[in-house]
Amino acid sequence: MSKELDGKIAVVTGAASGIGLASAEAMMQAGATVVLVDRDAPALKKLGNKLGNKAILQVTDLLNAESCAAMIPQILEKTGRIDILYANAGIYIGGDLVDTDAATIDRMLNLNVNAVIKNVHAVLPHMIEQGGGDIVATSSLAGRAALKHEPVYSASKWAVTCFTQATRRQVIQHGIRVAQVSPGPVASALLADWPADRLQAAKDAGAIMDASAVAEAVMFILTRPRNITIHDIVVLPTNIDA
């Protein structure tokens, strides 16, 4: 891969595994220095030893209001600038709504929606002052279709889609591009909540993809000429409908 992101400072939330890690690694391969944000301090430490000086570690619990609020200021103290924010962290609830509970719903909406909005809100003044930047959010196929098995998760990703597209229209005059990527099922810890039979059936049918496929879509978004903005990329395993 050529060094399209050489000299850029990127921030990736939920970076200790899955889509976040795959995207962080792709950005580093393209020349960026990447701040890996996650609440899992031991996992980040292992990654720091593996990834070298292109990786900066940031332990943040996005479900903790004080930790979330401190994230962008703490990163700016370490880096001096942020060129890319990839708001990727999220969790999943599937199944029938009556089988979940209020605390679980709050936790998912706080991470999937509120933390994304707070992180973008926090970074915008910096990007406006520096005259540009890129913001990407992880939405989902569930943010484009009302999926029967995912009423709460779908609602959260519809919210991300609306927020991403509305914010894009507000900040484009500042040289800031805002985009989203909308994956289908990805082989990651996010699917741990799937019923075992459904997960196995999807695996057997080839209806689950690797996180690297989503990372490639994120890189496509970030490496377009500045006069091009990708609103959304839907990335699906070919056999999802099989």
Q: Is the pLDDT of residue 198 over 80?
A: no
For residues 118-141, give the mean pLDDT.
97
Comparing 51-55, 63-67, 215-219, which segment has the lowest mean pLDDT?
Answer: 51-55
Closest CA to 123 of 158, 66, 159, 167: 167
Q: Domain limits of the chain?
A: 9-235
For residues 191-206, give the mean pLDDT.
73
Residue type at 219 in one-letter notation: M
**Bridge partner list, 59:** 38
CATH class, domain 9-235, is alpha beta
Query: Which strands form 33-38's sheet, in the order they lie side by side?
Result: 55-59, 33-38, 9-13, 84-87, 133-138, 176-183, 232-235
Token readout for 105 is 């719903």
- Identify the active-site residue in 86, 92, 153, 163: 153
For residues 31-56, give the mean pLDDT.
94
29 and 221 in contact (C-beta within 8 Å)? no
Closest CA to 11 of 66, 70, 71: 71
Catalytic annotation on 153?
A: yes
**Which pLDDT does position 125 carry in this prediction?**
98
pLDDT band at 241 (very low <50, low <70, confident <90, very high): confident
**Which pLDDT does position 19 carry in this prediction?**
96
Comparing 61-65, 84-88, 140-144, which segment has the lowest mean pLDDT?
Answer: 140-144
